[in-house]
Amino acid sequence: GSGAMFSISTNGSGAYSLGGINSAGSGYQVGDTINISGANLGGLAGVNDLTLTVTSLNPATYTVTQSSTTGLGSGAIFSISSDNSGNYTVTNITTFGENYALNDQVTIAGSNIGGADTQNDAFLTLTSVGATTFSNVTQASTSGNGSGAIFTISIDGSGNYSVSSVNSGGSGYEPDDTIALSGASLGGTSPAHDLTITVNNIVTTSGAILHIDNISISRANEPQTIIEGIDISTKNAATEAATVIADAKKQIKFRNSYLASKELALLDSLKNISTQTTSSDLLITDLSLQESVRELKKLDVMNALMGDLQKAKYLLNSGLLKLI
């Protein structure tokens, strides 16, 4: 301590008494001894010195900031008082600062609260913190392929996280995807304070999201056709796509039935041709004439078959079916 000023009186026989404390000074603690030179008391230094012992202190209040912390918080300003026994009390937090977390320990240097550094330091442990909000928090990683989501995250006085809002839904996310937010973006450290969000559902208020996983369509005598995943971002486009796909399924069913009926018709035609050929062979005995008849019949059959095949090919490769 320093700066204390006293009124000292003597009775003429060398006995001193404390008349009053003109200035309390600062930095004194209970148990401190203060030596006043005898030269200042009308005597000799060393021979007539007076020693005072601090037995109590008047409460003092200090407005201070931290000298260090175990966390990442900064900017808090505390009002701290000390009683006549040297005990410290936080009477007010005039500025809360930012990025403090539950159980952080804040150190106040002893020299800022009327004592000496280290010996009289005050240690404050944060048992609760006010709600804190972090805006524009983006993902550090995700289990899926989504990107672009932006969140507003709130942390209550117990350190519990909650998603206040989704500022941007991003794109490419699927149900059950996990999104990791770095603790460094939430006032803590990574990975100790990381937050993991699970996508339970995909909901939109102004549109719709339609995602179709790979679709495989196989056709007889045709290579397999695969439609890769389709992402549609607007409600109108999603409705149109659903209508197109439903219509395509109907067209495929219709064409399958049509082709099946054509196959049966062709088989019947071939059967009839075979029967007619056999009957003609019985009626015609001239071998060259029989061969000519056979060639003519084959040509008719081929023309008929080609006509049907061309129609079938046109159906397979036309418009919507080809697109799918």
Q: Is the pLDDT of residue 245 over 80?
A: no
Q: What does the alpha-carbon distance between residue 22 and residue 44 come to, in Å, rounded to a whole number? A: 23
Q: What is the mean pLDDT of residues 263-283?
A: 62
Band (pLDDT 50/70/90 cuts) for residue 33 is: very high
State which of 113-127, 198-212, 264-278 shows the largest mean pLDDT. Answer: 113-127
| Predicted local confidence at residue 285, as pLDDT | 54
Mean pLDDT of the chain: 74
Do residues 80 and 108 make contact, with C-beta atoms less than 8 angstroms apart? Answer: yes
How much is the average pLDDT of 230-253?
Answer: 56
pLDDT digits 0-9 by tens, 128-178: 777 778 899 999 999 999 899 999 988 876 667 888 888 888 888 888 889
Could you tell me what percent of the chain has a pLDDT over 90?
14
Write out pLDDT tens, residues 51-71: 999 887 777 789 999 999 998
> What DSSP line would sit under 206-270, residue for residue?
SS--EEE--EEE--TTS--EEEPPEEE-SHHHHHHHHHHHHHHHHHHHHHHHHHHHHHHHHHHHH
Query: 208 or 132: whose pLDDT is higher?
Result: 132
- pLDDT at site 206: 43
Those residues with Cβ within 8 angstroms of residue 102's Cβ, 6 or more apart along the chain or in another chain? 126, 127, 128, 129, 157, 158, 159
State the first-to-last Cα distance of the chain, in angstroms, to the nearest integer.
89
- Band (190; pLDDT cuts 50, 70, 90): confident
Instruction: Answer with the residue of higher pLDDT: 286 or 226.
Output: 286
Q: What's the helix, strand, coil split of the chain in %, to 5?
A: 30, 30, 40
